[in-house]
Structure 1
Amino acid sequence: MSVHRSTALARMLALSTVSVLAAGAGLATPAAASPEPGGSAPGPSAPAPEHGSELAIVPLDDRPANTYFPEMTAAAADVGTTFPPDEAIGTFTTPGDGAAVGDWLLEQDDADGYVVSVSMLAYGGLIASRTGTLSEEQARENVAALRELRAQNPGTPIYVYDTIQRLAVTSLGEDAVDLYDLIRRWAILVDRVENLGQEEYRAELEQVRSQIPDDVLEDYLAARARNHEINRLLVRWAAEGVIDHLVLAQDDAAPYGLHRAEREQLADLVEQLGAGDRVQIFPGADEVDATLISRFVLEQRDVRPTVSVEYSGVDGADWTAPLEDTTFDVNISRHVRAAGAVPVDEGGDIRLMVNTPSADGSDRGADLDAFVDRMASLQAAGEDVVVVDAVEVNRADAALVERMESEVSLSGLLAYSGWNTAGNSLGIATGHGFARWGLLQRPGDRSVPALAEAAGAHVSYLLHRYVLDDRWKNVVQPDAYEFARDRGWNVFGLTPEQTATMQDRVRDALVPLTEAFYTEHFAGRTVTVGRRGEHTFTGVIDGLDAVDVALPWPRLFETELEPEVALSWPAP
């Protein structure tokens, strides 16, 4: 599917409005959008209201995590999005065209803000950024578009992110897993031996090095060196004001590795230049566009929520998540600040409920029961709740989701995510939840149809998150892997015929699961559409208009899942 998704969003709502909302909330309600009491609204074919603002987004790549996730995060906050043409951003192992992306970016003069992945702008995407194919000189030429963009748009916010390269190379086949593990282990060992003097690891380092082809290692190191210099350049531009806010996201890592020295050098440069208020460095990657969309929304609406954290298990200060290199409390604080919010010890405007492992000797079931009970009590008290399901890698914690289904209003949460790494889950959930909160707190003069469209996008995305992170990752994907591997197929590189077969199998399984989840947890529920002072106005979820499922790349790691939920307004 194309990354241009405005048509899908325009179909999302079948609206009916109620005059009491406009009168009580002081919201503009065009006469054409106001039916008789109890009547029906303009259907999906009616023109969708324009968004309150528009963001131009250069994505990390064309996966749903970097196109659909940010689009829906923005839409839930009444922000429209536009992306470069499909041919400019490439797909899978075909890199994007950084120069073409830069040209496109400079044409977006009407945008109210910019969120830019330098991995795409400089190198052609995340996978391309992990190879040394493109020279540093070429990368510098591509990112120069940012300076020109600032010159053209001196007062428009420009938010930029890049990755600190992960420890491993990209695994594109079953036979590449060994190389992935070898290079990752080598990068950790060389840091411990050469940088930290831990000689007890030297024999293992030499043994691992002997198994890695010279050309593979040379390309890996060339990419690291180039990317590090570009990141240093970005920090300087943030200090100069070319970039309003910069996130350097540490892709999959560990407490030791070649990234450690790079990260420390970048942090030192930030301090030297006095750019600490403009630059954040934390574990993550795919979630950062959502984080920066939240920052845009909150700054545009001139509101900064306070955020307090509660854990299901151990405190974040006592846990370093898999594939990360800092304790999770630090990662939370940095994500929250990058998203435009303020961490507080307790009683925040937003309650961030974080699922962490239980302490040794603890009763995991009892911990989860208490955690979910706490969620339900916060909801009952009218608190705004965001859930970060950080325990498992690449999937939701099924035991948590099962309890939430029984005890929590799933459609009533501000956000939920259990997708991929802990940092990814954190940024996806906080980005969505904080942006949504910003619109609810400061709707401004937005019309009823505009707020209702945003509410429809919010509910559709919530449904997507539960089904994708739990039903897809815990049910459908394992079955798909087993089916493909039983036939000797490479699940990381399917042929066109295999892709078609697997896409049909995934769709046939995932669509009914989405419909069942909708029926059980969303149909007929109320959803907050607008707030004005002490008044909260709600709509009713009254239809699942469509569920689109497709494999975006010829592999089984991810799937597109796009439910379209309809809302209606009850008669006064």
Structure 2
Amino acid sequence: MKILYVPLDERPCNIKFPSLITASRKDVELIIPPQSLLPKKKKPADIGGLWEFVLEQSKNCQYAVISLDMLLYGGLLPSRIHTETKEAVYQRIEKLKQLRKLYPQLVIYAFQCIMRCPHYDSSEEEPDYYGQYGENLFTRAWLLNKKERIGINEEEENKLQGIEIPSEYIRDYENRCEFNLSYNLHVAGLVKDKFIDTLVIPQDDSSEFGYTSIAQKKVVSFINKEKLERHIYVYPGADEVGSSLIAKAWNHYNNHTLKVYPFFSSTMGKYITPLYEDRPIMESLKHHVRVINGELVEDEKEADIILAYNTCGKIMQESFNQLESQDLTYTSHRNLMDFVQRIESYVNRGMKVALCDSAFSNGSDLTLLRYLDEHGLMDKLYGYAGWNTNCNSLGTVLSTATFSLDSISKETLYHLAYRYIEDGIYQAYVRQIIVNDILPTMGLSYYDFKDKQKYVEQEIRKRCQQYFESFEFFNKYKFKIESIYMPWKRMFEIGIELK
């Protein structure tokens, strides 16, 4: 089985993760564009070269999983800062129609993000002015949208009136939001016309009110009007969608519906709205299971996979908070040891368990990893993830479970180790040490390593290896971190070469 895969961008989460997820299946081949055609952070991809690659390589594939942010704008970050004309983007959409006409047997799964609006000042992934006015742009839209929908109080009205943003920045940002939304709707129309079989429209950094909420409402209205609910999915996420659609292709190819039985580490877990998302965990779970060609079941005996879902007790925090300022409700509203012992019980009964670790955002629950290791469970899981957002982790875990379902192979163990290192050891622990204790002493910062990037990468590698060696899981398999690299020259994510 061959799947053409055009990623959202060039980072490991969008290229390496899908390859790790599918590695346990020798009968699956991902056809991925060469690095030379892909973007470099804000520098757009070679869009013409990518389309040539897609049109040529599709002839040998049964499925195509394609990022339209990549093929229309040149990548995720270019989609947020571009100055494209509608004529140029329309011509690229015509190539999508050409793809369908050339290969009518090709099953096409596409995804295209609603343009995000983060709630903080940073131009790292947005236009330059977002570094000074980002929080104000978010807050202004959030309050205006809330005022229109349900009303705001006097304090909020005063805050709204006090926000000052140069009009040209508001105009530039809103024009691009409208531009991108017009193509969200245009591409949704291609599903109606059967040029695309399934479309995912994910929301990165979504919230209850504001620009993303306004766009979502218009997209959902179009979907409802055209009766496309079975073919278009709108939910929080972004970097995991490629993996989810690759899993969908595998399940569709094998005429298989993955049956998933979830259980949660806390009573309120399924009702909590995670950071950076706009809905309760359970509502996102329904979308993520369906999009991979799966089904939630209420009887664990019917399940292909038991989904152990680690959530916060009541209040969700960033992963670095667990080291010094973890909220009391992580223990008062959650029994983590009971959760791990339940996983152990399922494993001992011969059932297959995958674990979504969403107790914190931007990193794993370190106490959970310790408990898993003490119970000898780290190599008994059919999938694990605890990175960035809840939906990033959820889509990754379900995709991994799809491909590892037959057995926990050497490739599955490798992927588990990769996730324990990046999601847990790096994101939740080592990253904070480097940021707080190492970078300041050298005059470096989160986004600026000057000429010391290799040194920083070596420090990360050394500390991750040392921490990993404290696990019995490591002692059993002797993994070695050969190198660490930071593709976007920042502390947020890393790539790992693991042996």
TM-score, reference length from structure 1:
0.78
Residue of structure 2 in register with 1:509 after alignment: 463
For residue 23 of structure 2, the aligned residue among 75, 92, 96 is 75
Residue of structure 1 in register with 2:323 after alignment: none
Q: Does 1:271 align with 2:224?
A: yes
For residue 489 of structure 2, the aligned residue among 537, 554, 557 is 554
Residue of structure 2 in register with 1:371 after alignment: 339
SS in 2 for 1:490: coil
Question: Contact 1:405 / 1:521 at 8 angstroms: preserved in 2?
Answer: yes
1:172 Cα deviation from its structure 2 partner: 1.7
Q: Distance in 1 between matches of 2:474 and 2:330?
A: 31
For residue 11 of structure 2, the aligned residue among 56, 63, 74 is 63
List per-residue Cα deviations over 1:235-262 (Å, max 9, x = no partner).
1111222111111101102111122122
Task: Check 1:143–1:479 CA distance in 2 against 1; reply closer, same or farther (3 A cut).
Answer: farther
1:141 Cα deviation from its structure 2 partner: 2.0
Q: Distance in 2 between matches of 1:316 and 1:546?
A: 34
1:294 Cα deviation from its structure 2 partner: 0.8
Residue of structure 1 in register with 2:108 after alignment: 158
Residue of structure 2 in register with 1:531 after alignment: none
Q: Which stretch shows the higher mean deviation, 103-112 or 61-70? A: 103-112
Q: Distance in 1 between matches of 2:467 and 2:170?
A: 44
Residue of structure 2 in register with 1:204 after alignment: 159
Q: Distance in 1 between matches of 2:361 and 2:330?
A: 21
Q: Look at both structures and tell me which one has the larger radius of gyration over its CA atoms.
A: 1
Task: Check 1:196–1:359 CA distance in 2 against 1; reply closer, same or farther (3 A cut).
Answer: closer
SS in 1 for 2:234: strand
1:318 Cα deviation from its structure 2 partner: 2.1
Residue of structure 2 in register with 1:5 after alignment: none
TM-score, reference length from structure 2:
0.89
List per-residue Cα deviations over 1:291-320 (Å, max 9, x = no partner).
111101111122112111111113455211
Residue of structure 1 in register with 2:272 after alignment: 319
Same amino acid, percent of matched pairs? 25
Residue of structure 1 in register with 2:321 after alignment: none
For residue 219 of structure 1, the aligned residue among 172, 188, 209 is 172
List per-residue Cα deviations over 1:103-162 (Å, max 9, x = no partner).
211111212321111111111111111124222332222233221111121112111111
For residue 382 of structure 1, the aligned residue among 343, 350, 373 is 350
Task: Check 1:548–1:241 CA distance in 2 against 1; reply closer, same or farther (3 A cut).
Answer: farther
Spell out the pairing of 1:140-539 with structure 2 (5 A cutoff).
Answer: 140-168=90-118, 171-172=123-124, 179-198=133-152, 200=154, 201-208=156-163, 210=164, 212-347=165-300, 348-359=303-314, 364=331, 367-437=335-405, 440=406, 455-482=409-436, 483-495=438-450, 497-514=451-468, 516=469, 520-521=472-473
Question: Contact 2:96 / 2:195 at 8 angstroms: preserved in 1?
Answer: yes
Which structure would you say has the larger RCO, counting Cα contacts within 8 Å and 6 or more residues apart? 1
State the Cα RMSD in Å. Answer: 2.4
Question: Contact 2:269 / 2:313 at 8 angstroms: preserved in 1?
Answer: no
Amino acid at match of 1:149: L
Task: Check 1:216–1:83 CA distance in 2 against 1; reply closer, same or farther (3 A cut).
Answer: farther
List per-residue Cα deviations over 1:333-378 (Å, max 9, x = no partner).
1000001111122312211111112148867176101111111111
Residue of structure 1 in register with 2:43 after alignment: 94
The alignment covers a number of residue pairs equal to 476
SS in 2 for 1:77: coil
List alignment gaps of at least 5 residues for structure 1. Answer: 1-52, 442-453, 525-541, 565-572
Q: Distance in 2 between matches of 1:311 and 1:160?
A: 31
Residue of structure 2 in register with 1:538 after alignment: none
SS in 2 for 1:252: coil
Task: Check 1:326–1:215 CA distance in 2 against 1; reply closer, same or farther (3 A cut).
Answer: same
